[in-house]
Amino acid sequence: MDFCVHIGFGADWVLQKQQEHDLPVVKIKEELLEQFGEHAEVTKQSLVELSVVLKGITDEKDEAVRIGFNAVAQFYPELADDAHSAEDDGLVICSGDICAVWAVDCDDQGREAPSVTTQNLIQALHGWDEYKQICWEMVDIAPQIRKYGTYESFLFQNYLFSVNDGWGLSTALGYLARLMEELGLITFAGNKKPVELRLSVKSEPGRYTFAEAFDILRNDEDKKRLICFDISEFMDSSREEELKQFLKDLVSLESHYIFAFRIPFIEPDSLKHMRDVLSDILYVRTISVPPAGDAELWECARENLEKYGMELSEETKGIFFARLSKEKSDGRFYGMQTVRKLVCEIIWLKHKADACLFDDSEGKAEPSPVISREDVEGLCDGFEDAKKSGLEELSEMIGMEEIRERIIEIVSQVKLAINNDNMDKPCLHMRFVGAPGTGKTTVARLVGKIFAEEGILRNGYFFEYTARDLCGEYIGQTAPKTAAICRDAYGSVLFIDEAYALYAGDERASDYGKEALTTLVSEMENHRSDMVVIMAGYKDDMNKLMEGNAGLRSRMPFMLEFKSYTKDQLLQIFLLMARKHFRCEDSLEKAAKEFFDKLDPAYMSSMDFANARFVRNLYERTWSKAAVRMQIAGTKEIVLTGEDLTVAAADREFSERLSVKQSIGF
């Protein structure tokens, strides 16, 4: 009897062997050919997998597996040390997923069994449980389809993926196409890579109208492809008829293509509606991929680093998630792809730190594989000082005495309610009112740290968005987008700046804003004790926002008012910034005092005045003037002087803000 033996290796492990004279698949192939001669036929070979038909084996296929396993063990005994049989009959896995040996009966057409490597790759995908279920179902049913020739039942099956950008859709589509072909269910022609097309109401680069997409398929010479259409822009009911007409056009091509459709991750009820729309025309299987939580993202980073023998220490977790929150705050987070990008940055920072401390040529000790907090502090600019508590950092902020006392009161009140079984669980959400640049964002970040230190929040991370970030690009996207933002912030702080925009602006923006506000209020209620939503803006605008939803004001019981800074406080903030980073001459303080004393009170009380942001702009302009001066003088150290500030303050954006229209210092 003939058996087909498959041997698959992990790609990363094979790469580690690339310096050897022959790669693992070559060594094992030559061993099997030498052992069986003309009774062995190689049917597939790549860098990571080998398929060999062994002819005339009289025993069960376990014997074929044993032959393949022994060939591996002969060259790589270390892989065989923890070999074990998997649940599937005839499968042996060696050393985790580094190597697998699989044998099947060869059918009448000589088809091979599905590649072990493909199934291992599918199994390794994080969070794709429904996708895996469909794949394993396909593996089980494929022999029946081949036996009875019922290929039409497979070809007319299509797929709806509900998954966000960056969570591996392209990879999953590639594995799916590969599995389909290896199972003998379809033979893809020409370029076998799945094609992805984003559909849009208007033609523009990277987006296709229904007519353009259909023309691409109709003029495709190869046919037989897996085609995935992104239909995100057609999720609202007003465009359902356009979508259905396109689906009707696709019916004529079902025997030539496998169709997949992609939309962002949405809640089950909304997903069911989209499935029903597609199912009116096509046979559709639904695959939902929830965004990974913090624990999964952290584990993904650790796994990526393990490939290089490195590991993240627990103390780096705060910096890692602080950077992730920044990546998410612009509304364009690409999941595992973003994590992989951060891993590359972490590795570079680690190498950079080690290069400063170690020198192999001098025979010094090897750097530690553990990545410490000090190694990656540059990963997130402005990350708070871990050596100080949140309250200590708040105490050092200028002009925040009343805010600090109010936060201490809130912490005491919340902890009392948490520890008293007879009291309702507290609602943690807050309103921060005040002019721009008065410290609202900084204090909101510290609230997360303080609440985590006090055991009120489990994480205490900080996620910053504007109101516009919660709104979608098209009808139907706002609610899932707002819900996804809230999911990220469970156990942490969600800070929404310019929150009044959710209930103000033009009519179209107001519709999106109301939808976002409704979703946000629901999330705030459902996670009232496990998430802190802080909305910030001017007092009058925030009062108007509270009218946008009947339940909003009651769900935000805490209001903190941030007062604009006095001239003396602005001076202190400027000197604190300058002395933190540079050596300063005494003349700097004198020149700074003169400048802030001359600030126009009318400008300071206007809505144009940005308080500490105005100070930061002046500080940055001052040290840039100093940098030019020191460069001309040929010295390396930057020392700030009163003259540097005088030159900076003479720039129009600063000089026009003085009550006395003259250059200072003369």
Instruction: Give the whole-angstrom CA distance, residue 238 versus residue 225.
Output: 30
DSSP symbols for 392-411: HHHHTSTT-HHHHHHHHHHH
Whether residues 340 and 435 share a domain: the answer is no
- Domain annotation covers residue 549: yes
CATH number of the domain at 611, please: 1.10.8.60
Instruction: Give the whole-angstrom CA distance, residue 536 versus residue 498.
Output: 6
- Domain annotation covers residue 419: yes
Residue spans of alpha helices (H) in 262-400:
268-279, 294-306, 317-328, 335-357, 390-395
- 71 and 106 in contact (C-beta within 8 Å)? no
Q: What's the number of domains the chain is made of? A: 5
- Domain annotation covers residue 94: yes
**351: closest CA among 385, 308, 313?**
308
Q: What is the pLDDT of residue 94?
A: 61
Phi, psi dihedral angles at 268 (to 5 degrees): -55, -40
Whether residues 325 and 395 share a domain: the answer is no
Domain end residue (candidates: 264, 288, 312) = 288
Q: How many residues does the chain have?
A: 666
pTM of the complete model beyond 0.95: no
Element (H, E) at 371: strand 370-371
Q: Which two tokens stand for residue 322?
A: 């602080």
Q: Which two tokens stand for residue 5?
A: 């033996």
Scan for tokens 């995100």, then name that residue: 232
Element (H, E) at 616: helix 612-633
In the three-class reduction of DSSP (H, G, I as helix; E, B as strand; rest coil), residue 659 is classed as: coil
The CA–CA distances, whole Å, from 406 to 141, 228, 425, 427, 431 equal 64, 54, 20, 16, 13
Q: Which two tokens stand for residue 583?
A: 């050596």
Whether residues 406 and 478 share a domain: the answer is yes
Whether residues 405 and 549 share a domain: the answer is yes
Q: Residue 220: CB partners within 8 Å, gap ≥ 6?
A: none
Whether residues 185 and 104 share a domain: the answer is no
Helix/strand number for the chain, H first, E second: 27, 20
Whether residues 228 and 319 share a domain: the answer is no
Element (H, E) at 196: strand 195-198
**463: closest CA among 411, 408, 531, 406?**
531
Whether residues 557 and 613 share a domain: the answer is no
Which residues of the chain, if any, have pLDDT below 70?
A: 1, 11-12, 15, 18-19, 57-61, 80-97, 106-117, 190-191, 329-332, 357-365, 381-387, 474-476, 504-510, 660-666
The CA–CA distances, whole Å, from 153 to 41, 388, 530 equal 33, 64, 47
- 484 and 523 in contact (C-beta within 8 Å)? no
**70: closest CA among 94, 104, 39, 43?**
94
Domain end residue (candidates: 288, 313, 333) = 288
Q: Which two tokens stand for residue 625?
A: 């003037």
The CA–CA distances, whole Å, from 458 to 64, 526, 529, 540, 601 equal 53, 16, 10, 33, 44
**95: closest CA among 76, 82, 108, 86?**
82
Q: What is the pLDDT of residue 375?
A: 85
**263: closest CA among 251, 255, 275, 252?**
275
- 443 and 394 in contact (C-beta within 8 Å)? yes
Instruction: Give the whole-angstrom CA distance, residue 548 versus residue 504.
Output: 9
- Say if residue 666 is exposed, middle or buried (CB neighbours under 10 Å; 0-12, 13-18, 19+): exposed
Q: What angle do CA 432, 436, 439 make, to 5 degrees?
A: 60
- Domain annotation covers residue 166: yes
- Domain annotation covers residue 384: no
Phi, psi dihedral angles at 562 (to 5 degrees): -100, 115
Q: Taken in order 66, 70, 71, 76, is the CA torsion positive or negative?
A: positive
Q: What is the pLDDT of residue 82?
A: 57
CATH number of the domain at 353, please: 1.10.8
Whether residues 408 and 535 share a domain: the answer is yes
Scan for tokens 């935000």, then name that residue: 556
100 HSE (CA, 13 A, CB side): 23
Domain end residue (candidates: 562, 582, 597) = 562
- Domain annotation covers residue 191: yes
- 174 and 135 in contact (C-beta within 8 Å)? no
Q: What is the pLDDT of residue 229?
A: 96
Residue 132's CB: how many other CB atoms inside 10 A?
A: 16
Residue 175's CB: how many other CB atoms inside 10 A?
A: 21
- Say if residue 580 is exposed, middle or buried (CB neighbours under 10 Å; 0-12, 13-18, 19+): exposed
Each residue's pLDDT tens digit, 343-394? 888 988 888 888 876 555 555 567 788 888 888 877 876 555 556 788 999 9
Q: Residue 266: CB partners within 8 Å, gap ≥ 6?
A: 162, 235, 274, 479, 480
Whether residues 431 and 550 share a domain: the answer is yes
Element (H, E) at 287: strand 283-288
Q: What is the pLDDT of residue 385?
A: 53
Whether residues 93 and 161 share a domain: the answer is no
In the three-class reduction of DSSP (H, G, I as helix; E, B as strand; rest coil), residue 40 is classed as: strand
Whether residues 364 and 341 share a domain: the answer is yes
Whether residues 140 and 194 share a domain: the answer is yes
Instruction: Give the whole-angstrom CA distance, residue 27 versus residue 31.
Output: 6
- Domain annotation covers residue 662: no
DSSP symbols for 432-454: EEE-TTSSHHHHHHHHHHHHHHT
- Domain annotation covers residue 427: yes
Residue 140's CB: how many other CB atoms inside 10 A?
A: 9
Contacts 24+ apart (CB under 8 A), 42-45: 43/4, 43/110, 43/112, 44/112, 44/115
- Domain containing 331 equals 294-379
CATH number of the domain at 36, please: 3.30.70
Q: What is the pLDDT of residue 87?
A: 40
CATH number of the domain at 400, please: 3.40.50.300
DSSP symbols for 459-520: S--EEEEEHHHHS-SSTTSHHHHHHHHHHHTTTSEEEEETGGGGG-SSHHHHHHHHHHHHHH
Going by their DSSP bridges, the two strands 558-562 and 583-584 should be labelled as unpaired
Q: What angle do CA 155, 161, 166 make, to 5 degrees?
A: 130
